[in-house]
């Protein structure tokens, strides 16, 4: 039989030497078999003593060896999987950048095809579309293509200038109006925002772009008259844009058409967007400058967003048609059909301006410059006789009519002076005049000429009689102050 000390020593030796071979394990079983048989009958009355510290250390050593082996296997598996994952990601990026940088089409948030981002794909689509067009459509498309190549979008300076900003401050929303292209002359604008189209394709832009200070800007267009054969396109474009084409057909333009389709830089295939709009409907266009989002409304109901990320462009409200129709645009001068825009005041500008207009003519109060000019005009100075003008003719004293100042412009009635009667041939006055000619000539010759002496100085224009004005300035008179001196003097008085 083995004692407890022999058992501990044997287990310790086996752990230090490592795991024994199968032959060693069988010998161990034979060696400890007698010990197990000897200990089995003792279970009836023998209670094992406490496990010593050395036995606990042996047990912990055994568990630690098993745990470290499992951790090593787990680390190896994870390392292999991580390396494989990194390799797959790198290969995917290389494949994507090498084989998919051409032929991509930008999709909107609904997964529908939008604008083309590939020249080859656009060329294929263009060739297919040109085959289905007639000669007139092909000519118009090639004309627009040449226009865009010569005038790239956003090539012109379209930011709101200082003069335009002051006009907006003074007029409010009335500063916006539509300006038809004179070369096209296929539409007529009345009362700034009432557009009438005729029988060919044409578009018209506003004179000012949509601002970007507020969160949302909104405007509406009401279809007053629309035959079934006419196509109306309402949306936004940038400058320069070929106005002989409808909005939405070319770059940096977007539109909602009366057929229910939308076009975003798409000259070939439109995308179904919303319901059709006919005569009497109201179509609204909204723009969020912070996110670059454009949306449309129809009869006060908001439709889904059609574009995002259009932050840098300056968009101009644009309306186009290819047939006779009439469209009235509301930039905010009236109430909107879209309730949210009406409540939150999404118009392009306030209805009334916040900047006071210039003073009316004839009102110089409160302006030092105008008051000074008024005083100088009332007391003219004559600085030299050499440059003074004399009045030719006889000075008539006591002429009738109201007395007026030199700067007075009045519509008061002038006294009527009956003209002398003309003496013509074949009248009774002609014979009488012939008889009296000799008497008048004799009376004139008998009278001596009147004594006449030239005045020392000629009166200035607008004055008559014995009034005399010294043409030389008085050296004692104070000089006329300059504008800066007058302003400083007024500030000192205040």
Residue 288, pLDDT score:
95
| pLDDT of 197 | 95
**Model pLDDT, residue 105:** 45
Structure-block tokens of residue 447: 């009278």
Flag whether the pTM goes above 0.85: no
Q: What is the pLDDT of residue 68?
A: 78
Cβ–Cβ under 8 Å, residues 272 and 259: no
Side-chain-side CA neighbours of residue 494 (13 Å): 6
- How far is 107 from 109, CA to CA, in rounded Å? 7
Q: State residue 133 phi and psi, 5-degree precision.
A: -90, 155
Distance CA 345, CA 214 (A): 10
Q: Which residues of the chain have pLDDT under 50?
A: 1-2, 4, 7-48, 51, 60, 62, 101-113, 115-116, 380-401, 410, 422-428, 430-431, 433, 462, 465-467
The CA distance from 115 to 130, in Å, is 18
Dmax over CA atoms of the chain, in Å, equals 190
Cβ atoms of 245 and 140 within 8 Å: the answer is: yes
3-class SS of residue 459: coil
- The helix (run of H) or strand (run of E) holding residue 254 is strand 253-257
Structural tokens at position 188: 């007529």
* pLDDT value of residue 416: 52
Q: Is 170 helix (H, G, I), strand (E, B) or coil?
A: helix
What is the second-level CATH architecture of the domain 140-344? Sandwich (2.60)
pLDDT given for residue 154 in this prediction: 83
Residue matched to tokens 């009432």: 194
Domain boundaries, the chain: 4-78, 140-344
3 state SS of 325? strand
């Amino acid at each position: 039989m083995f004692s407890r000390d022999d058992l501990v020593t044997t287990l310790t030796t086996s752990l230090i030497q490592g795991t024994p071979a199968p032959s060693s394990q069988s010998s161990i079983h034979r060696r400890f078999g007698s010990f197990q048989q000897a200990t089995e009958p003792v279970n009836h009355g023998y209670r094992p003593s406490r496990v010593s510290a050395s036995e606990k250390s042996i047990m912990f050593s055994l568990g630690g060896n098993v745990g470290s082996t499992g951790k090593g296997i787990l680390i190896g598996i994870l390392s292999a999987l991580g390396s494989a994952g990194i390799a797959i990601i790198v290969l995917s990026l290389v494949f994507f950048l090498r084989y998919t940088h051409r032929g991509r089409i930008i999709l909107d948030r609904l997964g529908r095809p939008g604008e083309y981002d590939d020249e080859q794909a656009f060329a294929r689509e263009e060739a297919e579309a040109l085959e289905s067009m007639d000669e007139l459509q092909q000519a118009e498309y090639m004309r627009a293509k040449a226009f865009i190549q010569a005038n790239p979008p956003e090539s012109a300076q379209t930011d709101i200038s200082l003069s335009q900003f002051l006009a907006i401050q003074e007029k409010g929303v009335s500063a916006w109006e539509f300006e038809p292209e004179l070369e096209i002359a296929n539409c007529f604008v009345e009362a700034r925002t009432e557009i009438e189209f005729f029988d060919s394709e044409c578009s018209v832009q506003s004179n000012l772009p949509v601002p970007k200070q507020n969160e949302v800007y909104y405007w509406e267009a009401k279809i007053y008259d629309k035959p079934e054969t006419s196509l109306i396109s309402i949306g936004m474009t940038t400058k320069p844009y070929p106005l002989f084409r409808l909005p939405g057909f070319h770059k940096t333009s977007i539109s909602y058409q009366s057929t229910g389709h939308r076009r975003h830089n798409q000259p070939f295939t439109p995308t179904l967007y919303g319901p059709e709009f006919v005569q009497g409907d109201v179509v609204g266009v909204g723009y969020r400058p912070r996110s670059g989002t454009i949306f449309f409304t129809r009869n006060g109901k908001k439709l889904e967003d059609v574009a995002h990320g259009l932050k840098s462009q300056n968009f101009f409200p644009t309306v186009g048609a290819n047939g006779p129709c009439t469209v009235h645009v509301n930039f905010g001068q009236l109430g909107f059909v879209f309730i949210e825009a009406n409540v939150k005041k999404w118009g392009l500008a306030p209805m009334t301006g916040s900047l006071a207009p210039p003073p009316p003519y004839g009102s110089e109060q409160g302006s030092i410059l105008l008051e000074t000019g008024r005083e100088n005009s009332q007391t003219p100075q004559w600085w030299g006789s050499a440059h003074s003008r004399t009045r030719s003719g006889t000075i008539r004293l006591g002429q009738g009519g109201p007395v007026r100042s030199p700067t007075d412009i009045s519509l008061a009635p002038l006294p009527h002076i009956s003209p002398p009667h003309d003496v013509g041939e074949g009248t009774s006055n002609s014979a009488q005049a012939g008889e009296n000619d000799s008497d008048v000539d004799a009376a004139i010759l008998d009278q001596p000429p009147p004594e006449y002496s030239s005045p020392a100085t000629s009166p200035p224009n607008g004055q008559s009689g014995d009034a005399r004005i010294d043409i030389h300035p008085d050296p004692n008179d104070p000089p006329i102050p300059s504008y800066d001196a007058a302003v400083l003097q007024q500030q000192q008085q205040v």
